[in-house]
Amino acid sequence: MKNIKITTFALLALAAFTSCSDDDNPQIYIPVNEEEVITTVTTTLTNGGTTITLTSRDLDGDGPDDPVVTVSGPLAANTTYTGTVSFLNELDSPAEDITMEVEEEGTEHQIFFQAPAILGDFTYTDTDANGKPVGLTFTYTTGNAATGELIVSLVHEPNKDGAGVADGDITNAGGATDAQVVYPIEIME
Amino acid sequence: MQQRLIILTCLLLCGFGALAQFSASGTVTGTTGIALGGAHLHIGSRQIAADATGHYTVSGLAAGKVKFHVSYIGYQPIDTTVVVSGDIVLDFKLRVSVSALEEVAIQQPAGSRGTVREARIKTETIEKYSSQSLGDALKEVAGVSSLKTGSTVVKPIINGLYGSRVPVISNNVRLEDQQWGTEHAPNFDVNAAGKITVIKGASGLQYGGDAVGGLVLLEPLSVKKDTLMGKTIVDFSSNGRGGSISSGLHKGNVEGWSWNALGTFKYFGDREAPDYVLSNTGNREANFSGDVNYTTSRYEASVFYSYYRAQIGILSASHTGNVNDLYRSINGKVPSVIDDFTYDIGNPKQKVAHHLLKTAFNYHLSDNADLSAQYAFQFNNRQEFDVRRGNYSNLAALDLDLETHSAQIDYKNLLGDWTLKTGASGAYQSNFADPATRVRPLIPTYKKYDAGVYGIASWAVSPSLVLESGVRYDFSKIDAVKFYQVSRWEERGYDADFADIIYGEQSSQYLTKPSFTYHNVSASLGFRKQFHHEWDWYANASLASRNPNPSELFSDGLHHATGVIELGDLRLKQERAFKISTSVGKRWQRLSIDFNPYLNIIQDYMFLQPVGFETTIRGAFPVWEYRQTNARLAGVDFQSKFQATKHWRHELSLAYVNGRDVSGSADLIDMPPLNIGNKIQFAKEEWNRLLLELKSEWVTHQSQYPRNNFETNIVVDGVQVPVIVDISTPPPAYHLLHFYSEVKFKTLGAQTTLAFAVQNILDTRYRDYLNRQRFYADETGRNFQIQLKFNY
């Protein structure tokens, strides 16, 4: 009698254990395309009829491949360019434009331009809902002939009230960096 | 409470005699009449053992009330008081313990189960941590420290090892709650533990063969007598401006129905460091656990269910983007986000839920043999929310459903001086990584199959010497489905070794089906020897094997909590640990000491090692990959308790461990530094059982650590300048003082305990080497705590 009880119990346990369904969820065979990933940061500088395009593209996200940087040409010395920055996710097809999202959430984002002083000055020309700069549009006044690197950073949730932040100084901005690209700059007379 | 006697036969013969010196004698047997030779008797202040036939005699008893306590391993003890007015004969018949086999296996007399000294945490101590976590309570044991993420995510470290190396066994079921992550705390309500036991090392073979670090055993409250008791603990803390309430009812019984029901709620806002608010560090918990048991003299059946749900805020300032953010955090010394105190929890945060359902059946085949079977189902859901843009902020960045079915059968037999334990277990686990997160999951979808068998024999050579030996075999197979970025696949060099597991390519990602099978043998051998009731000596050698966990095999992306790209390796094989430990204890009347040195040699120890840098569109990130090396951990735990006078007591605990990467000639990362705890206690029974306690916690600077610093460029005046990011140097030593006090009194028929405590009395600023957030913020400051406990 007692052995029957034990056996029954063991079999029940075993049945419960082995009867687990083996149906695979089809979702797991579809790769995740990270939709909020920024793959491409494009900075466009325009002066009159001249447009210089600087692009940094990293199609494998946080994968091992380095971003590919292209600059369409040299800049002219002592010239004021009207600039825009755009962000794309090219893993999506068609490519998703994330620039709009940054603009809509302007109070939570700021773009910073960092370059040695000899390359010239950057000035914000846009504002968010609180009257603070975002940096999607700006003017860039080049200096004399020189070469150097321009670093464009998109910071998420910066402290926009931090000292110097509204003037483009990243030092007290805090937040988390969503994008940071480095463009080689060449200014010719 | 009226003590109900369980004596089936109690023969009382009163002799005649006017002298005030009497004797007591008799026999101790089981209910079936089997003589319980060596049974332990406390008679008045005397302690004696019955002879081989179960007979005992004690003389020199004074007239009046005399307390008898009779106990024998595996049987229910008897407590009774007898009025002595002459020589008496008292026979005791002990009933076989009705506790389940698994409990018997781990519930031999305190400190003497197996051949590794176990550390217990008593209910009263557990209750002090009612509003905190399991990991906090475990720190009471010398040699156990904690790996934290902030102040609420606390993982136990046993002798320098944690995570997958320290399985947590809840009510005889191995918790499957994703312990592979460093920021995943055990999903367990500390209030649901009636008793906590720590086994340092792999000797608990009935629970598995992979406890390279040790085991944490949690058991619910169980009283083997007919009683209905309840307990409610209400707790308020100033730091976090919150508290917890936990309330439970327990129906104990010798036979028939017994049950437990317990619920706990916790609610806390932001914690505060001495100088600032630790923004977004609130947490909530809602837990329930309950069981129903039916016991007869032949069997016991039980159903147990527990539910744990927690929402935990992760310090805002710990969310960093690239390595420049990390550098600014480390060098800034102050968190980058400090907001006003709030109860709100924003992103980043964790939401976890854990269900455990267990049904068990234990059958007493005879007085000496037990057979038990159990089945358990667990479901764990973990959602991690990150700081995301736009509509994604309400979408978890990680969403894992882990489902585990496990079944086991255990058999135990006492054959004279021999105790044999054997059993078999099987488990099926499935993990589903929800792709709806729109983030490539760190842990893939997989299925895992486990099976194991073990046998443990223990031989009581003499009443003071026990030898024990065990062996276990485990089979494990894991079948995963994972997408790899083609670029990552090639960078890992998998194209040469694993081309056959690719099943397709979509959007520059390979669909792969990695499958691994493992066979492991683990073993334990040891003895314990007692010398004249005062000295005891334990020695144990164990061999454990641990399979690589999903995180070690499959990780392949950015880990936001550390700002590091973590890479798993499909080529990892099992790590094997050989641990020898010994424990020497001495118990004088007023002083007891335990000294426990150990050596753990781990072959193919898996660990994260920095290997370089990768540049992404977000900037540069350090890359760490899982590698294997040969490691050696050597250390010592020491504990002493000294009852100086009736009122004053002192306790000391000390733990030191040295971890070396032997092949790489480096120190191991995350080894707890030398720590020393001192406690002075004053107790006065007459004043409402007043207890005052001052505790000092001294944690030294860890000088043995691997140098993993790296160089990065930061922009100074528009120009990139190389700087060193110091992620290696442990923080300085710190010393904390804590105060605890309590009084007990009766209110409305309930035994009430009122406790007042202050943690970090001096509001000391400090950071802890084993806190993942030490780069971002100080630890919590002073906390005033009031606790009310009602027992009814």
- The mean pLDDT value for B231-254 works out to 94
Residue in chain A lying closest to B411 (CA): A6
How far is the alpha carbon of B617 from chain A, nearest alpha carbon, in Å? 6
Closest CA to B695 of B662, B665, B739, B664: B739
Q: Which of residues 732-791 of B touch A (CB under 8 A)?
A: none
Residues in A touching B336 (Cβ below 8 Å): 159, 174-175
Residues in B touching A31 (Cβ below 8 Å): 440, 483, 506-507, 509, 511
How far is the alpha carbon of B512 from chain A, nearest alpha carbon, in Å? 10
- Interchain CB distance below 8 Å, A177 and B406: no
d(Cα B542, Cα B210) in Å, to the nearest integer?
11
- Interchain CB distance below 8 Å, A116 and B392: no
With residue B606 as reference, give the H or E element that holds it. strand B591-616
Band (pLDDT 50/70/90 cuts) for residue B561 is low
Q: Is B394 near chain A, with CB under 8 Å?
A: no
Q: What angle do CA B418, B419, B423 make, to 5 degrees?
A: 140
Q: Which of residues 207-226 of B touch A (CB under 8 A)?
A: none
d(Cα A176, Cα B318) in Å, to the nearest integer?
10
Residue of A18, A63, A151 with shortest CB distance to B488 = A63
d(Cα B333, Cα B680) in Å, to the nearest integer?
35
Reply yes or no on whether the pLDDT at B105 is more than 50. Answer: no
Residue of B656 and B556 predicted with greater confidence: B656
Residues in B touching A35 (Cβ below 8 Å): 392, 438
d(Cα B148, Cα B166) in Å, to the nearest integer?
15
Closest CA to B712 of B323, B452, B373, B226: B323
A·B CB contacts under 8 A: 181
Q: For position B249, what pLDDT does the model report? A: 93
Residue in chain A lying closest to B492 (CA): A64
How far is the alpha carbon of B619 from chain A, nearest alpha carbon, in Å? 5
Q: What angle do CA B685, B689, B692 make, to 5 degrees?
A: 105
Residue in chain B lying closest to A171 (CA): B328
Q: Is B559 near chain A, with CB under 8 Å?
A: no
Residues in A touching B364 (Cβ below 8 Å): none
Domains of chain A: 35-188 (2.60.40)
Reply yes or no on whether the pLDDT at A9 is more than 70. Answer: no
Residues in B touching A57 (Cβ below 8 Å): 617
Band (pLDDT 50/70/90 cuts) for residue A18 is very low
d(Cα B692, Cα B677) in Å, to the nearest integer?
16
User: Which ipTM score applies to this complex?
Assistant: 0.81
How far is the alpha carbon of B551 from chain A, nearest alpha carbon, in Å? 17
**Mutation site, B482, B491, B618, B720, interface A, largest A CB count within 10 A:** B618
d(Cα B572, Cα B553) in Å, to the nearest integer?
7
Least confidently predicted of A12-21, A88-97, B55-64: A12-21
Q: For position B364, what pLDDT does the model report? A: 93
Residue in chain B lying closest to A150 (CA): B718
- Interchain CB distance below 8 Å, A175 and B717: no
How far is the alpha carbon of B718 from chain A, nearest alpha carbon, in Å? 4
- The mean pLDDT value for B12-34 works out to 64
Residue of B685 and A23 predicted with greater confidence: B685
The answer to pTM > 0.90 is: no
pLDDT one-digit tens code per residue, B608-642: 888 888 888 888 888 889 999 999 999 999 999 99
* B190 phi/psi in degrees, rounded to 5: -60, -25
- Interchain CB distance below 8 Å, A104 and B719: no
Helix, coil or strand: residue B677: strand
- Interchain CB distance below 8 Å, B405 and A64: no
Q: Is B595 near chain A, with CB under 8 Å?
A: no
Residue of B337, B430, B508 with shortest CB distance to A60 = B508
Which residue has tokens 């335990």? B594
Residue of A59 and B31 predicted with greater confidence: A59
Closest CA to B309 of B352, B343, B245, B350: B352
- The mean pLDDT value for B65-79 works out to 80
- The mean pLDDT value for B546-567 works out to 85
- Interchain CB distance below 8 Å, A10 and B373: yes
d(Cα B52, Cα B326) in Å, to the nearest integer?
70
Q: Which of residues 397-426 of B touch A (CB under 8 A)?
A: 405-407, 409, 426
- Interchain CB distance below 8 Å, A13 and B373: yes
d(Cα B344, Cα B315) in Å, to the nearest integer?
12
Question: Would you state the structure tokens that stand for residue B329, as one six-digit string?
Answer: 């955090």
Band (pLDDT 50/70/90 cuts) for residue B113 is low
Share of residues in chain B with pLDDT > 90 (%): 60
Residue of A57, A115, A176 with shortest CB distance to B321 = A176
Domains of chain B: 21-94 (2.60.40.1120), 101-217 (2.170.130.10), 218-791 (2.40.170.20)
Residue of B2 and B198 predicted with greater confidence: B198
Residues in A touching B410 (Cβ below 8 Å): none
Q: Is B393 near chain A, with CB under 8 Å?
A: no
Q: CB–CB of B209/B519 below 8 Å? A: no
d(Cα B595, Cα B555) in Å, to the nearest integer?
40
Q: For position B89, what pLDDT does the model report? A: 82
Q: Which of residues 619-638 of B touch A (CB under 8 A)?
A: 619, 621
Q: Is B584 near chain A, with CB under 8 Å?
A: no
Residue of B299, B483, B487 with shortest CB distance to A60 = B487
d(Cα B514, Cα B489) in Å, to the nearest integer?
13
How far is the alpha carbon of A177 from chain B, nearest alpha carbon, in Å? 4
Reply yes or no on whether the pLDDT at B4 is more than 50. Answer: no
Residue of B336, B432, B715 with shortest CB distance to A25 = B432
Least confidently predicted of B14-18, B160-164, B225-229, B513-517: B14-18
Q: For position A62, what pLDDT does the model report? A: 79
Residues in B touching A91 (Cβ below 8 Å): 507
Closest CA to B335 of B714, B780, B775: B775
How far is the alpha carbon of B252 from chain A, nearest alpha carbon, in Å? 25
Share of residues in chain B with pLDDT > 70 (%): 95
- Interchain CB distance below 8 Å, A59 and B483: no
Residue of B52 and B375 predicted with greater confidence: B375
pLDDT one-digit tens code per residue, B196-237: 999 988 788 999 999 999 999 999 888 878 888 999 999 999
Question: Would you state the structure tokens that stand for residue B101, as one six-digit string?
Answer: 């086999």
pLDDT one-digit tens code per residue, B358-402: 999 999 998 889 999 999 999 999 999 988 877 788 889 889 999
Q: CB–CB of B642/B681 below 8 Å? A: no
Residues in A touching B614 (Cβ below 8 Å): 62-64, 66
Half-sphere exposure of B49 (CA within 13 A, CB side): 12
Helix, coil or strand: residue B109: coil
Band (pLDDT 50/70/90 cuts) for residue B81 is confident
Residue of A9, A101, A176 with shortest CB distance to B325 = A176
* A29 phi/psi in degrees, rounded to 5: -95, 10
Reply yes or no on whether the pLDDT at A7 is more than 80. Answer: no
Half-sphere exposure of B324 (CA within 13 A, CB side): 28
Q: For position B324, what pLDDT does the model report? A: 81
Residues in A touching B402 (Cβ below 8 Å): none
A106 CB-near residues (< 8 Å, 6+ apart): A126, A127, A128, A129, A134
Question: Would you state the structure tokens that stand for residue B454, as one six-digit string?
Answer: 């073990």
Q: For position A3, what pLDDT does the model report? A: 55
The DSSP annotation for B306-373 comes to: EEEEEEEE--GGG---SHHHHHHHHHH-S-S------S---SSEEEEEEEEEEEEEEEESSSSEEEEE
Question: Would you state the structure tokens that stand for residue B728, as one six-digit string?
Answer: 């290696």
- Interchain CB distance below 8 Å, A17 and B406: yes
Residue in chain B lying closest to A151 (CA): B718
Half-sphere exposure of B232 (CA within 13 A, CB side): 6
- Interchain CB distance below 8 Å, A64 and B720: no
Q: Which of residues 150-179 of B touch A (CB under 8 A)?
A: none
Reply yes or no on whether the pLDDT at B111 is more than 80. Answer: no
d(Cα A100, Cα A88) in Å, to the nearest integer?
10
pLDDT one-digit tens code per residue, B416-470: 889 999 999 999 999 999 888 888 888 899 999 999 999 999 998 887 889 999 9
Give the mean pLDDT of chain A: 86
d(Cα A183, Cα A188) in Å, to the nearest integer?
16
The DSSP annotation for A133-147 comes to: ---SEEEEEE-SSEE
How far is the alpha carbon of A185 from chain B, nearest alpha carbon, in Å? 13
Helix, coil or strand: residue B494: helix
Residues in B touching A2 (Cβ below 8 Å): 298, 363, 365
